[in-house]
Each structure stands twice: as structure tokens, then as C-alpha cells.
Amino acid sequence: MALLRRLELSDQTDTELKNASPSTWESIHYELNLMPDRQIIDFLVQHFVNELNWMKQVIHAPSFLVNYQLWWAKDKIAEIADVEFAALIARICSYATQFLSSPSHAVDQIRGRSLADIRDTCSNIGNNLATACEILDWKGTLVRVQHIIFAALKVSCEGRTSQFWEGIGSACRAAQKAGIHTDTTGLMGSQLPKDSAQELERDIQRRTFCSLYVLDSHLSRQLDRIPFIPDHLVEGTLPRLRLIPDIGNIPTETATTAPDIFAERLMQVQLGLFWRGLGLQRTSEFDPTESERRYEKLKSEYLVNLHPAFAIENPDTTLDKAIPKLPMQRQLLYIAIFDSICWNFRPLLLLKPNQVASLAPYKRVLLRSQKQRLGMAALKVLEAVATLHTMFGGSYTRFSAIIFNSFEPAILLLNLCSNADFPFDQDDHSTDLMGIKVRMTYRIAMHAVEQAIHRLQMLADLSDMAASGARVATLLFARCVQPNQSSSSLALTLSVSGSLGSTQFPTPIERYGEQEKWPSLEAGDPYLMPDDLSSMPQEDSFPSPQLSSLEFPMLWGEAFF
């Protein structure tokens, strides 16, 4: 195929494919006729570009909007590239409805159509058009990769972790089929001059591939699975253009130091490369000295290279008002950084007393400090999540970064707080975490957990993932605050965490060895109460009401899941 391209010979043209598959094209036009009204599509696309694209940056908004206008101007959809773009529009619209109603758009319908109806319609159209495109052209382009990613992000908002993982895998395979990690181009025509347009196309491909790498790295780490994209592919595909956001009338010297609009994603790429480059195997026994070495390398090799606007201590906030989404991107990066620190230290939770006793004395001292760092990192994740949620208006959202990262750090803190010998601060002095002073006390930790559970309970009205997380975290909180909790009850608590959260959340314990003792992420019917929980007396599962201000949801019977 490469030789054919060098000779400027196509292996398969749109015209040939069109003539070869008339029934497929009939189906395509049928689906296109089902698209919601232009005004509805325009509203959702505008909402996506203005309010949502900053989260994952799968598309380059300016070039997408140019192609969006060109697509609508066509008299007839007769090329595969146009059909792929239609699938992208449909899947973006379906994804965008997941974030409505919002503080900026308090709506439950658009032009008389309910959001649920629009979501289902666009999702079905996107799926059917995507299937047709695969029939007509096995190879695909960048646009195919993008719309597959949006389909995966939609199911992520719905809490369907397994389908999200499968969607990311499909996008990774599509990316390599289309060759977007190379210098081939695959966007629709542009109104930019040819040379600059081609270079921009290449850089958009690189950016989409990097965004996909971030999703792949983060999810594979969460689920303890092998990533789809090898490191060397993304290392040779880093963006080369510096695209400065439109920041209005500010001094030139300030504008030149502004972060690229892709800076946060690029730093997430570097974070993924850092951890994956260490070659850590979770099947090996936890070694405190190795985890300490990784922690120190993170400080000396990664944190020192952060853009000043994203520094974890005293970040440069000069451009926060000029670039409205910059503060939110900063919190996203903070969540990723501190979550990765949690990931580094989490395996220590599975160490048995005899394993700890067999460690050298200096390793036991190290282990004690690492427990504290694990707790502090979990606190910092919850702090960043709370800040980000406030920036969302403190309202309902299906944004998985807020939901998942409200749940998992809370579970870590509850497990640490259940540990009788946890090294909480004994005075008013703070402890250092990556150069930041963090005070870690039992009261501070439990207050952070309460806030996280309150957040999950509020978001449960829209999100099944938040609902299941709230139920699990509430149960663990109730058991944690019981006086005189025995070690056996703690073990049961950890087991219940895995059982209850298996469908929506990968429990933070089950991933680090001895997998046979922990429920599988995929195992079991999520609507059935686990036997060990149903046999527990209800009066032994909850503290007296005055111990917490939490509104405990019903944990028994039909309301359980």
C-alpha cells in the first residue's frame, strides 16, 4: 500500500465503494434523514466546543468548526469522509447531552425534544453510520478514531467501565489502522493555505493520538491491564506546533509564555510515559525501597518540568481569567498526579502482618511514612476534585473524573483510618508531600470522606456510577466509625468493597496481587446482594446517627443496587 501511495494510486476509491454497496448507501441516507433538526445539532455542538472539549481534547475545535460548516453546506452526502464526519457529529451530540442540564444551560429539552430522546437518537445514528463506514472502508481516518473515542466517553459517563475499556481498545486499533501516529493525513479539506493546512492536519493527528494515549494509560492503570498503545508510538508522535489560545488584549510578553491549549494533555502524556517507563510489574511483592525510589524520581524528573501554570505549589495564575478553562485543566492534572502517587503506594495495603514483621527495620520505618503519604495523596485528590466540582458550579454532572475520583480516594482513606497504627499527625505540624505541606489527621481525613460521599449522593440522581459509589462508601464509612472495630470486620469491609463496587468501580484493593481473594471487576450480578453482606445483622452495620451528618441511603432490599 505504501508503494501505491508513492505512485499516487489509491487502493480503493470512494466512488468504487459507493457503486459496490448501494444498499449500504441507502441505509446511510436513511440514518442521515433521522438526524435531529439543525438547530438542535448546532446547540449541542456549540455546548460541546465551549464547555466540554477542554476535558479530553479529542478534536481541535477551530478546524472542526470549519469542517462542520463545510459539511452542512454539501448538497448531498456521497463520500465516505462525509459519512465518517456525520458519525462524529452524532456521537459528539450524544456525548454532549450527558452534560445537560448544566449551570450554563438549565434545560431538559431542546426545541421540544427531550434530552434522552436526542441522546438515544444520536447514539443510534452514530453507531449505525460507524458500522456502515467500516463496511465501506476497513482502514478509516482520523475522524473515525475521534468518533470511536466519543462513543467510548459516552459509556464512561454512564459508568459502564467494561464497555469504556473495549471502546478505548477499538479506538487504539482504529488509530493504528488509519496510521494517525504517522505523517499521513486524514482530515476533510480545509480553507487554510495548503502547507499550513497539511502541517496543522498532522499536528491534530498527533494530538488526538496523545489524547488517546492518556485515556489508555489511565484506564489500564486503573484496571491493572496491559495498555493498547506502546510507549514508542506516542514518543514519536508528540505535537510539534504551539497553538496559543485566544487570550485577548494582554501584553505580548505574557502571551508568549502562555501554555499551549494542549499543555495539560501533553503533561498527562509525560506522566503516563514516566510511570510506564519504570516497567513496574504488579505481580512482584511490594518493596518499600522501590516504591520510594519511584516517588523520588517523580519529584526529580517529572514535577520539575511542569509548566509554571500547572505547578503543584504556587502555580502561575496570571492567565486564569484570560483562559477560562485553564484553572479546570490544572485541577485535572493535579488529580492525575496525586492519583498516580496513590497508585504507587496502594499495594502496601495488602501486606500481611507477618510480611511486615519480616521486613528490615529501616523498611518498616519507610512503610510507615509511605502509609502517611498514601493518605496525604488521597486527600489531595479529593481536594482537587472538590475544587473542580465547585468550578462546575457544584451541580449535577456525569463527568467521570469527578465521580470516580470522589470514590476511590475516599475508600483508600477509610481503609487507612481503620488501621489502628496509622501514623496520623500528632501535633499541628504538617508533613511534606512532593514539596507541599499537608496536615493529615483522623478528623481531616474523615471530613474529606464525608464531603466525597455527600458529592456522590448528590450526583447519584443522574449517575448510576455515583449511586453505586455512594452506597459502597457509605457502608464502609459506617463500619469505619464504629468503636472497637476488629481486624476481621475490616477484612470483611474490604471484601464488601470489592463485591459492591465490581460493576461500576474497580476497587482499589483488588488490583494488587492475590486476585483470587478479591471479586473480579466483571463478576456477579450487580443487582444481587452479596451473601456475606446479606447475612450481617443490620444493627451491627451502622453507627448511631449522631456520629455523622451523612444522610445514609437505604442499603438493604430492593434499593440496594
Q: Which has the minimum average pLDDT: 306-310, 501-505, 555-559?
A: 555-559
Q: Is residue 269 part of a domain?
A: no
What is residue 432's DSSP assignment?
E
Q: Is residue 262 part of a domain?
A: no
131 and 10 in a common domain: yes
Tell me, what's the pLDDT at 428? 57
Q: Is residue 260 part of a domain?
A: no
What is residue 434's DSSP assignment?
T
Mean pLDDT of 476-500: 54
298: which residues sit within 8 A by CB, 6+ positions away? 274, 340, 341, 344, 434
Exposed, middle or buried by CB within 10 Å (0-12, 13-18, 19+), for 371? buried
Q: Is residue 321 part of a domain?
A: yes
* 336-365 pLDDT tens trace: 999 999 999 999 999 998 999 999 999 999
- Mean pLDDT, the chain, whole residue set: 81
Domain boundary among 235, 256, 291: 235
Phi-psi region for residue 126, left (φ > 0), alpha (ψ -120 to 50) or beta? alpha
* 296-317 pLDDT tens trace: 999 999 999 999 999 999 999 9
Tell me, what's the pLDDT at 50? 94
For residue 436, the surrounding DSSP H or E stretch is strand 436-438
The cell 457529529 sits on which residue? 89
Domain boundary among 213, 235, 257: 235
418 and 523 in a common domain: yes
Q: Name the residue among 240, 282, 277 with its Cα closest to residue 262.
A: 240
Q: Is residue 252 part of a domain?
A: no
Give me the residues paired with residue 110 across strands: 113
The cell 474490604 sits on which residue? 494
Joined together, the cell numbers standing for residue 129 give 453510520
Residue 102 has pLDDT above 60, yes or no: yes
Q: Name the residue among 270, 199, 206 with its Cα closest to residue 239.
A: 206
Q: Is residue 253 part of a domain?
A: no
Tell me, what's the pLDDT at 411? 96
* 113-150 pLDDT tens trace: 999 999 999 999 999 999 999 999 999 999 999 999 99
Phi-psi region for residue 482, left (φ > 0), alpha (ψ -120 to 50) or beta? beta
Start-to-end CA distance of the chain, whole Å, equals 52
Q: Which has the minimum average pLDDT: 42-51, 76-85, 480-489?
A: 480-489
Tell me, what's the pLDDT at 256? 74
207 and 134 in a common domain: yes
Domain boundary among 207, 235, 263: 235
332 and 184 in a common domain: no
Tell me, what's the pLDDT at 426? 59
Joined together, the cell numbers standing for residue 256 give 508568549
Tell me, what's the pLDDT at 374? 96
The answer to whether the beta carbons of residues 100 and 75 sit under 8 Å apart is no
Joined together, the cell numbers standing for residue 300 give 526529580
Sequential DSSP letters for 301-338: IIGGGS-GGG-SSS---TTTTTSTTHHHHHHHHHHHHH
The answer to whether the beta carbons of residues 501 and 469 sit under 8 Å apart is yes
* 152-205 pLDDT tens trace: 999 999 989 999 999 999 999 999 999 988 754 444 444 444 457 788 889 999
302 and 215 in a common domain: no
Q: Name the residue among 142, 232, 144, 154 with its Cα closest to residue 190.
A: 142
Q: Is residue 256 part of a domain?
A: no
346 and 417 in a common domain: yes
Residue 73 has pLDDT above 70, yes or no: yes
59-65: long-range pairs with CB below 8 Å, 24+: 59/88, 59/92, 59/146, 59/204, 59/208, 60/200, 60/204, 60/207, 60/243, 63/187, 63/190, 63/200, 63/201, 63/204
CA distance 423 to 367: 10
Q: Which has the minimum average pLDDT: 299-303, 359-363, 478-482, 539-543?
A: 539-543
- Boundaries of domain holding 358: 278-559
56: which residues sit within 8 A by CB, 6+ positions away? 149, 153, 211, 214, 215, 265
CA distance 455 to 395: 9
Give me the residues paired with residue 432 across strands: 437
* 423-475 pLDDT tens trace: 776 565 668 899 898 988 899 999 999 999 999 999 998 888 999 999 999 99
Give the confidence band of 528 by pLDDT, cuts at 50, 70, 90. Answer: very low
218 and 101 in a common domain: yes
Mean pLDDT of 19-31: 83
Residue 514 has pLDDT above 60, yes or no: no
pTM of the model: 0.82
364 and 296 in a common domain: yes
96 and 39 in a common domain: yes
Q: Name the residue among 129, 206, 133, 215 with its Cα closest to residue 172.
A: 215
Of 9-23, 42-56, 385-399, 425-439, where does the model show the most confidence? 42-56
Tell me, what's the pLDDT at 391? 93
Tell me, what's the pLDDT at 252? 67
Q: Is residue 183 part of a domain?
A: yes
Q: How many domains does the chain have?
A: 2
Q: Tell me, what amino acid is at 343?
A: W
- How many CB atoms are closer than 10 A to CB 409? 29
226 and 87 in a common domain: yes
Cα distances from 272 to residues 18, 112, 188, 218, 239, in angstroms, run 42, 44, 31, 7, 16
Higher pLDDT, 530 or 133: 133
311 and 224 in a common domain: no
* 231-256 pLDDT tens trace: 989 988 888 887 766 666 666 666 67
Q: Which has the minimum average pLDDT: 6-10, 256-260, 369-373, 411-415?
A: 6-10
286 and 231 in a common domain: no
Tell me, what's the pLDDT at 279? 75
Tell me, what's the pLDDT at 492? 38
